[in-house]
Amino acid sequence: MNSAAGIPQPEAMSFDLSGKHAVVIGGGSGIGKSIAEGLGKAGARLTLAGRRRDVLEGAAVAFSKAGIAAGVDAVDANDTTQLAAFAARAQKTAPVDILVNAQGVMTLKPAEEFTPDDFDRIMTTNTKSVFFACQEFGKLMLARGRGSIVNIASLASFRGFARNAVYTISKHGVVALTETLASEWAARGVRVNAIAPGFFVTDLNRTTLVDERRNKAESRTPMGRLGETSELAGAAVFLSSPAASYVTGATIPVDGGFLAAGM
């Protein structure tokens, strides 16, 4: 670091995460698992968090076979008491340098059919838990004067999607939260960014994404295909690394050109 100007020197502009401790909430499966793997391959030490210990342990075993160290912590991120205790445990293991919020749920139905319970469940997981995870880990990062938070937004953070009203509200909130925290915490050394995935193949939809839905998604994506979750890892590594030292408040679409295509 150039002490006079506070500008990282070229040798610091790297994607190397060696020595960094990355916490990935939702890191046992899907998008979170692929991002965690990418961070681990870049050198980060991982803590995988989520509700299901068996899923987390399965991911950790798979990572260990690839030479990636990963601890697990079963926690319900919707429970703010559990979340605070988890942050304290993770910090005790090693100071947390990177937080990825990859937790999320979705329910598809016409807007007039959503119930208050539907609304509360989706908003609690997709927005409330992300806010309080940022708050708990952000306080630890602010105390050290450094850290990187990566939230998982969505194409639904920028567009309206039929039969997806509450999810769309929740993901607009993730971008708003990301930009607000970035503006508050930038001068104190903590960067906050987001990734907006397009249409991706996951373990959950690989066999259930029927031809009509898949064809519609592919036809609206300029690259003409769905993404693989491994294609999200590069953006997460970049945003977490010294190479992104001047990047905060950004939401990076990884969508095959969907948003760029417009109408």
Residue 8 domain-assigned (yes or no): no
| pLDDT tens, position by position, 203-226 | 756 655 667 778 888 999 999 999
What is the secondary structure of 207-226 as a DSSP string? TT--HHHHHHHHHTSTTSSP
Tokens 């910090």 -> residue: 91
Q: Are 253 and 198 in contact (CB under 8 A)?
A: yes
Domain-embedded: residue 48 = yes
Token representation of residue 131: 């806010």
Determine the pLDDT at residue 2.
44
20: domain CATH number is: 3.40.50.720
How far apart CA 254 and CA 90 sit, in angstroms, is 29
User: What letter does residue 242 receive in the DSSP assignment?
Assistant: G
User: Does residue 10 lie in a domain region?
Assistant: no
Under DSSP, is residue 193 helix (H, G, I), strand (E, B) or coil?
A: strand
Looking at residue 8, what is its pLDDT? 62
User: In this predicted model, what pLDDT tens digit does every residue of 241-251 receive, in sequence order?
Assistant: 999 999 999 99
Torsion, Cα 211 35 32 135, to 10 degrees, reads -140
Q: Does residue 262 fall inside a structural domain?
A: no
Confidence of residue 11 (pLDDT cuts 50, 70, 90): low
Number of domains in the chain: 1
Residue 53: inside a domain: yes
Count the neighbouring beta carbons within 10 Å of the beta carbon of residue 180.
Answer: 14
For residue 2, tell me if it sits in a domain: no
Residue 167 among the catalytic residues: yes
Mean pLDDT of the chain: 93
Q: CA-based Rg of the chain, rounded to a whole angstrom?
A: 18
Helix (H) or strand (E) holding 252: strand 251-254
Residue-level pLDDT at 216 = 87
What is the per-residue pLDDT across 154-189, written as a single tens digit (0 to 9) for each?
999 999 989 999 999 999 999 999 999 999 999 999
Q: In the prediction, which pLDDT does 30 show? A: 94
Residue 209 confidence (pLDDT) = 65
- For residues 197 and 154, give the distance between their C-alpha atoms in angstroms, rounded to a whole number: 5
Q: What is the pLDDT of residue 80?
A: 98
- 260, pLDDT greater than 50: yes
- Domain coverage including residue 33: 15-257
pLDDT for the residue 1? 43
Catalytic residue, from 167, 185, 238, 258: name it. Answer: 167
In a domain, 248, yes or no: yes
Neighbours of 23 (CB within 10 A): 30
